[in-house]
Amino acid sequence: MRFMGGDYVEEAVAGCTAVLRSALDRDWEQVRAGGLEWSCRRTGAHIASDLLAYAGQLAGRAQDAYVPFEITLDGTEDGLDRADNAGVVQVIETTGALFAATLRTTPREVRAFHPYPFRSAGREGFAAMGVAEVLLHTHDVATGLGLPYEAPAHLAEFVLTGIFPHVQPGPDHWRTLLWATGRGELPGRARLTEWRWNNNLVIEADRLTLQGVTPAAAADLRTGGDGGFEWAAEGPFEGTREAAGMTVKAYEAGVHRPEFGLFTLVRREDGRAVGGMGFHGAPDGDGRAEIGYDLVEAARGNGYATEALRALAGWALARDDVRSLFATVERDNPPSQAVLARAGFVQVSEDGVEEGLLAYELRG
């Protein structure tokens, strides 16, 4: 699964500037951008500001807050308004180029601060956020100025499957994205007045990170791809691909809760994925959630599964909506049974468990 973030940012910016250039002779300052309180000019400046801010976060490896700088458009100089409409478009192009270059040169494992919802994002998340800002605010400006604009479907899909994993897909990616951000209607769905995007969750362990798998990555894993990860030899294992298929089904049904989905286990020392671990769905009404996992054969025997399971279980049981964790394992799989035992799980009644399996539970 090739990372296309830089290409998609450039494509989104090219579409944006083409639309804006068709109205350079209009008054952008006195016209509101669609349903926003901002003027079209301020909205254009905001697009550029976001692109530069995201580039700064990744390039500066910011971990705790936004890098403390902002963009300011030049005013009048020598009788000329350097930041006229054409100047605003030029700044959008320039900041878009800077962001695209940053995305292309940022290693996959780098994460930087972003406040929502888990206080970090990788290059994939920042790319999707940047594309979203460009597409949506181009729509806002175009609406305000009465210009035709429709984002390419594959760019809208890139945003939806990257940072809107909680939004059920609709028949039209662009209309779905507009609905998901409070800008449009979808048959059978109430109009939104509040919304947030959702970057993937990363849970830290000692030698590993557990990295949330987005619907886009899950779809690639399900069909034989790598999901955008660099895998250890012979990976991913079949169980990870099956779990990715479950993620896709939940996403398509509109019941996917990303924090209770699939995580890829990534080794810190070399950035290689060594397995998958995750939940079979959100906790039930009793606060019970089921966990499953696997490792590529080359990574077994190193304690990775135990370490990851302890980290995931600790994260889950610290929540108010999780009271216990459940797992089943084959009777003839002592190594997996040992993983559960080392992580604190205890064997429980086999009532209702498929023949040939043992049931384990960990309570908070």
Residue 339: pLDDT band (50, 70, 90) is very high
Residue 297: pLDDT band (50, 70, 90) is very high
State residue 74's pLDDT score: 81
State residue 78's pLDDT score: 55
What does pLDDT average to over the chain? Answer: 95
Q: In 3-state terms, what secondary structure has residue 72?
A: coil
Q: In 3-state terms, what secondary structure has residue 324?
A: strand
In this predicted model, what pLDDT tens digit does every residue of 79-108 receive, in sequence order?
455 689 999 999 999 999 999 999 999 999
- Are residues 191 and 185 in contact, defined by beta-carbon separation less than 8 angstroms? yes
In this predicted model, what pLDDT tens digit does every residue of 108-122 receive, in sequence order?
999 999 998 999 999
State residue 81's pLDDT score: 57
Whole-angstrom distance, CA of residue 138 vs CA of residue 34: 10
* 330: pLDDT strictly greater than 80: yes
pLDDT above 90 covers what percent of the chain?
93
State residue 356's pLDDT score: 83
State residue 207's pLDDT score: 98
> In this predicted structure, which of 257-261, 273-277, 353-357 has the lowest mean pLDDT?
353-357
CATH of 5-180, one of 2.40.30.170, 2.40.70.10, 2.60.40.3080, 1.20.120.450: 1.20.120.450
Two tokens, residue 305: 């599964």
Q: Which residues make up the CATH 3.40.630.30 domain(s) of the chain?
A: 202-363
Residue 351: pLDDT band (50, 70, 90) is low
Q: What is the mean pLDDT of residues 151-179?
A: 97
In this predicted model, what pLDDT tens digit does every residue of 29-87 receive, in sequence order?
999 999 999 999 999 999 999 999 999 999 999 999 999 999 888 865 554 556 899 99
* 236: pLDDT strictly greater than 80: yes
Two tokens, residue 286: 């009793």
Two tokens, residue 80: 């000329």
Q: Which residues make up the CATH 1.20.120.450 domain(s) of the chain?
A: 5-180
Q: Is pTM beyond 0.85 here?
A: yes
Residue type for position 71: I
CATH topology assigned to domain 202-363: Aminopeptidase (3.40.630)
Give the DSSP H/E element, type plus range, for residue 277.
Answer: strand 272-279
Residue 140's nearest CA partner among 67, 240, 37 is 37
Q: What is the mean pLDDT of residues 315-337?
A: 95
Whole-angstrom distance, CA of residue 228 vs CA of residue 213: 10
State residue 40's pLDDT score: 97
Whole-angstrom distance, CA of residue 18 vs CA of residue 22: 7
State residue 354's pLDDT score: 76
Residue 5: pLDDT band (50, 70, 90) is very high
Q: What is the mean pLDDT of residues 176-198?
A: 96
* 352: pLDDT strictly greater than 90: no
